[in-house]
Amino acid sequence: MRLRIAAATALLIGGALHARLAFDGYGTTDLITLFFLNAVGSALVVAWIAYDRGPFALLAGLGVSTVSLLAFGLSRVGDGVVGFRGVGLDPGPDALLTLVAEGLALLLLAVALLRARHQLVAVVQQLRGSEHLAR
């Protein structure tokens, strides 16, 4: 339980940092929109993790953190993301704090999912059983 709370907290911090960047107007209009969507998505997934003890909320959290970290990396190479190319850890300290929060969320969510893998296996087996009944 504590692990889920810690993971959700790290995810919420990552979302809050994205919201701050959005409200500060950092980047292009499209990037600001993505930052805002990240913040809303993070908050919704955190609420889901708090409400539902199942593994799918953890998977959703892993998705949010993974996409956030991937987008950060992609924003630093080539043409960047949605017409924006960042440099290094700008804007400081938000970029570094976001990387730490999202990375920590990813790690904690992965560990929590590993601990809950028996639930995930049970759900998959149940779904397989219902598929056989439908045939």
Report the pLDDT value the prediction gives residue 131, as an integer from 0 to 100: 61
Residue 134, pLDDT above cutoff 80: no
pLDDT for res 9: 97
pLDDT digits (tens, 9 = 90+) for 64-104: 999 999 999 999 998 888 888 888 888 889 999 999 999 99
- How many Cβ atoms are within 10 Å of 55's Cβ, its own excluded? 21
Q: What is the pLDDT of residue 27?
A: 87
How confident is the prediction for the chain on average, in pLDDT? 91
DSSP 73-117: HHTTSTT-BTTB---TTPSTTHHHHHHHHHHHHHHHHHHHHHHTH
Q: What is the distance between the alpha carbons of residues 101 and 40, in angstroms, rounded to a whole number?
A: 16
Of 24-33, 56-65, 117-126, highest mean pLDDT: 56-65
Summarize pLDDT for 36-45 with one digit per residue, the tens. Answer: 999 999 999 9
Confidence label for 119 from pLDDT (cuts 50, 70 and 90): confident
